Amino acid sequence: MLRGRFATMSVVDLLEWIERRRVTGKLVVDGDAVTRTFTFDTGAVVWASSTEPTEQLGHILRGSGHVDDQTLATSMADGASTTPLGARLVEHGAVAPEQLRTALLTKIRESLCDLLLWKEGSFDLDPGPAPPPAGVRAVIAVSDVLA
């Protein structure tokens, strides 16, 4: 486990270190009333979640016109399901796998880009095996976002 503050280790330094070391695991960052979780697989980001509503998958899919409020509400109503929202939407034919991949890439990229602006906050990096992908896989190299 690596734990620290962005005042000591900048976001860029942390992300570059994760990529260079090809870390697999989960990074949780807290700051500015937002918590984000990133999952890395050999140094690349394969998943992102956020408490910021505008960075959540349903918001992104709705904003891009891929789903309407009714479709989203119906898919989210199945709260007992352990299947991720995106996989449920693909299963029901509400979005195509490539549309979901594009939305997931947007979600990861926007979360990372906003994180780059943080000067304060904390992080916890917990190395460990990446969870198996649930359906559509989206992968972003850290260096692509930092470029």
Give tens-digit pLDDT for 3-52. Answer: 999 999 999 999 999 999 999 999 999 998 999 999 999 999 999 999 98
Phi, psi of 96 (to 5 degrees): -80, 155
Does this model's pTM top 0.85?
yes
The domain containing residue 121 runs over which residues? 2-146
What is the spatial distance between Cα 89 and Cα 83, in angstroms, rounded to a whole number? 10
Q: Where are the alpha helices (DSSP H) in 3-147?
A: 11-20, 57-63, 69-76, 85-91, 97-115, 142-146
The per-residue pLDDT for 79 is 61
Give tens-digit pLDDT for 69-103. Answer: 888 888 877 666 777 888 888 988 899 999 999 99
